[in-house]
Every structure is written in structure tokens, then in C-alpha cells.
């Protein structure tokens, strides 16, 4: 028997981190996505245990500033893409304002570190969101509006370029899998 689940990776990670911090008796304050303020510090042996516990779930504690900044950029993009409606302002302005940094610096650092552009990362995240919205039975028109695409054709083109499938073929494949599960 197969079952399909729907999950929010941000909620799952946040829950895991909170459980592990509580388990070790660490006082904390959740900040932005992926940021935690530890007011009283952590003894080295407890910190090592926290790292080990989180690693089991594929969660790493970032120690160097560039890695932390890259993760903050990614988290900010993911948070932005998962809003009900993307900001009306240019994404570069949104990121610069949200990160409180110069966009050209953010963009250069991101490209150097990830070997990809912020724009490509945004497209990948938008397509991931579009997949989820398709599964929620939203129309391509609704999805293209929510994700600030200029047209349904633009969304469809990026979807096919990124996944190798048109949105309608993607939906048919998923629906076919669901039918097979329910009939077996």
C-alpha cells in the first residue's frame, strides 16, 4: 500500500529544531526562517549533541558567515515565494530591503557560493510552488497570477524548461498515480 502525504518543509524543520532544543534544555528565541537566538549560549558538549541530533534529520548548523548569509537569502526567497501573492515590487528591491543589504553584493555572493544566480533559484522555487498549487486544483491562470508571471504561457514555458513536462502532463501523471493508489 502507498500513501501520499503533503508537508510543509519549513514547519517540519522548525518543529524538529524546537523539539531538539527543548530536549537539551536550551533556551531559545526563533527569529526569521532558519535563525535562532540563544540568549544564554550553549556549553560545547551540548552544542555538539545538538549538532549531532539535528544532523540525523539532514539539518546542519552553519558556522561561517558566508554560509549563513547564503542560507538567509534562500530562506528569504522561499518565504517570499510561499506568500499568498508575491510582492509587487521588483524582487531585487524586496531582497535588498528584507536583507538590509545591497542587492549587487547579495547577488554576487550568491552566485560565487552556489554557482547559480538568484534569478535561477527564484525560478526553481516558483516552479516548486506551482507544482504544489497544481496539486491543490488551482488553474494555471490563478497560479500565474499568484506567482507574478506575465502570462500563463510564460509560466508554462518555465515549468516545461525546468521539469521537462508541461503543467498539464505533470498534473495527469500525478492524478494517474493517485488513481492507481486508490484502486489497488
Lowest-confidence segment of 53-62, 78-87, 172-181 by average pLDDT = 172-181
Parent domain of 55: 1-61
pLDDT digits (tens, 9 = 90+) for 6-20: 777 778 888 999 999
Position 43 in a domain = yes
Residue 158 lies in a domain: no
Instruction: Give the mean model confidence (pLDDT) for residues 159-177.
Output: 91
pLDDT of 90 above 90: no
Is 130 within a domain?
A: no
Question: What confidence score (pLDDT) does residue 62 get?
Answer: 76
- Total tally of structural domains belonging to the chain: 1
**Domain contains 56:** yes
* pLDDT band, residue 86 (cuts 50/70/90): confident
Residue 46 lies in a domain: yes
Rounded-to-integer distance, Cα 126 and Cα 25, Å: 38
Identify the DSSP state of 5. -
Tell me, yes or no, whether 76 lies in a domain. Answer: no
The answer as to whether 99 is a domain residue is no
Enumerate residues 6+ apart whose C-beta is below 8 A from 167.
130, 134, 140, 155, 156, 159, 160
Q: Could you give the CA distance from residue 106 to residue 110 in angstroms, rounded to a whole number?
A: 6
Q: Is 57 a member of any domain? A: yes
Amino acid at each position: 500500500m502507498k500513501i501520499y502525504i503533503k508537508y510543509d518543509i519549513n514547519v517540519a524543520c522548525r518543529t524538529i529544531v524546537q523539539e531538539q532544543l527543548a530536549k537539551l534544555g536550551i533556551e531559545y528565541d526563533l527569529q526569521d526562517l532558519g535563525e535562532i537566538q540563544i540568549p544564554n549560549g550553549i556549553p560545547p558538549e551540548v552544542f555538539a549533541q545538538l549538532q549531532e541530533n539535528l544532523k540525523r534529520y539532514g539539518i546542519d548548523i552553519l558556522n561561517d558567515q558566508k554560509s549563513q548569509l547564503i542560507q538567509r537569502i534562500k530562506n528569504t526567497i522561499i518565504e517570499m515565494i510561499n506568500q499568498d501573492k508575491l510582492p509587487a515590487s521588483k524582487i531585487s528591491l524586496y531582497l535588498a530591503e528584507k536583507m538590509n543589504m545591497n542587492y549587487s553584493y547579495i547577488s554576487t555572493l550568491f552566485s560565487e557560493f552556489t554557482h547559480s544566480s538568484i534569478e535561477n533559484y527564484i525560478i526553481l522555487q516558483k516552479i516548486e510552488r506551482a507544482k504544489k498549487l497544481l496539486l491543490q486544483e488551482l488553474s494555471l491562470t490563478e497560479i500565474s497570477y499568484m506567482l507574478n508571471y506575465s502570462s500563463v504561457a510564460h509560466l508554462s514555458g518555465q515549468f516545461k524548461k525546468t521539469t521537462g513536462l508541461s503543467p498539464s502532463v505533470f498534473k495527469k501523471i500525478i492524478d494517474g498515480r493517485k488513481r492507481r493508489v486508490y484502486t489497488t
